[in-house]
């Protein structure tokens, strides 16, 4: 099993996603002799998982059932153990596009954190690219190495435990792109420039506060970066549903009645108008936004090495 290459069947040692519903899923490491408890009952790895195909519908001990899904970076982002705040797929997608990443790209990242963005970057640059990721915190760096090994992508990533603001990324003039998610990204802009290839490399900095963005932009200008721009992604989700509206009365019947000399004040005429106003409804599909909208996550500042 690998987060990069799809496998048909579930094997011992795989990381699989137990899917109970769109709002309820979790990862599990498949192991012989192990059981997993769910609200629908027990899943026995040896008999219920190993050897079955990914996507299979598995019946639990209480009669309920779940689906077992092959892991992807998107599913991992939704289910990973949080060691830090993470980036979600909305921001990850624009980062991948704006950094112009493709198979074979060389990317430098700091910090690694919980590895949400790292898995997406690895999938994008595979099979011939490489990710150099730097994490200041030793325990988080070690956990990231362990996860990359378990997920079958350790050959595509190098994890370094050091302070990127002081020691850089450990590489020079090879990176196609650099991503920074650290408290003071302006202190690492010089190291990012050194890591990028001679010309045309892209850089992205993620910061939650506009004051961080201002200092980062000044540092980018100082080091000669061009095409500096900042944006944020605000996601507004719509529910598509069927609604009913009354067919409007455009007054045609009233005009016809007046032309024939009917007394508009008579009870029979008023009853006729009420009947026309209630002549029926029409159903159609409509998009209705959610009442609660996901707000600000962070500012994304992009630039190009001149």
User: How many whole angstroms separate alpha carbon 217 and alpha carbon 222?
Assistant: 9
Tell me whether residue 287 is annotated as binding.
no
114 labeled binding residue? yes
Give the sign of the dihedral formed by CA 104, CA 109, CA 112, CA 113.
negative
- 135 annotated to a ligand binding site: yes
- Return the closest-CA partner of residue 121 out of 164, 158, 160, 84: 158
Alpha carbon distance 55, 66 (integer Å): 10
129 is known to lie in a ligand binding site: no
**Residue 152: DSSP 8-state:** T
| Residue 226: strand pairing partners | 304
Tokens matching residue 190: 């010089």
Does the annotation flag 116 for ligand binding?
yes
Which among 158, 195, 193 is positioned nearest to 174, based on CA atoms? Answer: 195
The string of DSSP letters for 171-191 reads --S-BSEEEE-SS-GGGGHHH
SS3 170: coil
Binding site members: 114-117, 135, 163, 181
Residues of each annotated binding site for S-adenosyl-L-methionine: 114-117, 135, 163, 181
């Amino acid at each position: 099993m690998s987060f990069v290459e799809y496998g048909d069947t579930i094997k011992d040692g795989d990381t699989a996603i137990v899917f109970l519903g769109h709002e309820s899923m979790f990862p599990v490491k498949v192991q012989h002799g192990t059981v997993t408890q769910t609200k629908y009952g027990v899943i026995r790895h040896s008999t219920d998982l190993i050897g079955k195909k990914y996507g299979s519908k598995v019946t639990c001990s209480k009669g309920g059932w779940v689906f077992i899904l092959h892991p992807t970076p998107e599913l991992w982002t939704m289910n990973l153990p949080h060691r830090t705040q993470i980036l979600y797929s909305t921001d990850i997608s624009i980062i991948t596009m704006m950094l112009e990443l493709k198979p074979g790209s060389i990317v430098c990242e700091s910090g690694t954190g919980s590895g949400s963005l790292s898995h997406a970057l690895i999938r994008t640059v595979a099979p011939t690219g490489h990710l150099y990721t730097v994490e200041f915190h030793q325990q988080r760096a070690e956990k990231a190495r362990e996860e990359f090994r378990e997920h079958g992508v350790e050959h595509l990533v190098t994890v370094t435990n050091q302070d990127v603001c002081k020691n850089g990324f450990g590489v020079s003039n090879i990176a196609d792109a650099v991503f920074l998610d650290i408290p003071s990204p302006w202190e690492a802009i010089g190291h990012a420039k050194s890591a990028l290839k001679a010309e045309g490399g892209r850089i992205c900095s993620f910061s939650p506060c506009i004051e961080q963005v201002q200092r980062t932009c000044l540092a980018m200008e100082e080091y000669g970066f061009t095409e500096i721009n900042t944006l944020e992604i605000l996601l507004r989700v719509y529910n598509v549903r069927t609604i009913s509206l009354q067919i409007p009365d455009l007054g045609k019947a009233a005009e016809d009645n007046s032309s024939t000399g009917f007394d508009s004040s008579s009870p029979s005429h008023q009853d006729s108008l009420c009947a026309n106003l209630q002549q029926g409804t029409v159903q159609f599909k409509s998009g209705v936004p959610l009442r609660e909208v996901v707000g600000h996550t962070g500012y994304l500042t992009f630039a190009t090495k001149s």
